[in-house]
Structure 1
């Protein structure tokens, strides 16, 4: 090998080493520059049931078993041997999903539809586990979906809270009541003894007739019932006349006897 060839190979080796020193750290930094999913709530440890989320287990995929209690729920990915993401593509209309849990590494993510910027309806894409201590997204070790049947809203008919309102009998202002209309010349419901007042027709110069009270009629029976009858006065006068005559005759007899 010539000197020029050795020099050229040495230069290439130095360049490769320099490139490795420059690119290598950047590659590691790029691989570990993962961020947490803002749509998920991060937890440490493990979780395998739906307690606290409501409903029951719809689908569960793990290393040891795979449970599909709801075959109508479809998804892509989620293979526990190789996948880091899972997408729930469709859910039956009569099912409400309450939570999706994705476990990987030392923690798990909880996704709740309608919260943390996660759509309230499927599809839910690229669901994953939390970032591991090395700053990378680990392979999924277990994931499951919780939910229940959608309950139809029940509306009980409201009972009336009060008695039904009676139709109003009030007439519009200025409109006379039909029951109070009388024919011309018919007597009104005024008290006895009063003469109704008739207003002159518009344009007529005749004076208005005023109402006058009739003089009360004296009943003789009322005076008799008070004991003020004149019969006893006649009896008393007759007795006085008889008594006076007797007294006069007695006086004359005394005068004759003395003479």
Structure 2
């Protein structure tokens, strides 16, 4: 009985030791010199449903197997960064936890060590989080200014308009078109000969008076 009990105890101890060694070996195999992520052995777990993001949602560069995320696009929130590489796990980063800044930039993100203890190459990486679409901008109708009332413009002066001058013909009074005067309406009868007869009579009378005066002086 004692031998059987002893053998059973040895078997249990051997199984327990093997399990502990396996766990320790697994934990030792997946580790990182970066204290910001959570090194996890095995296959990388996907993002929760509806939280997948695209690499184009951020601005990034990969330099010497190090992932550098410099900027997150507008409307994007990153809640998880997974960097896979090597042969035994992945590094799981959570912004705002374990010393990782809550907002970008995030630099020097890397894969865990391989089982041989060397830094693993970065095989691939992905992001989890949420993205909100930008609200569509409503187009405002163009504001129309009140139409200005048209002011009446001053009449344009034409170059061909004739200004009154001294050379314009004098207005002849009605009834005196022939220049005979009198202000009477012109009936077709020209009385200019009467003026000439009067002038001759005056001249004749003057001459007659001069002649009589001359004879009177001669007779004395």
Q: TM-score when scaled to structure 1?
A: 0.36
Q: TM-score when scaled to structure 2?
A: 0.42
Larger radius of gyration: 2
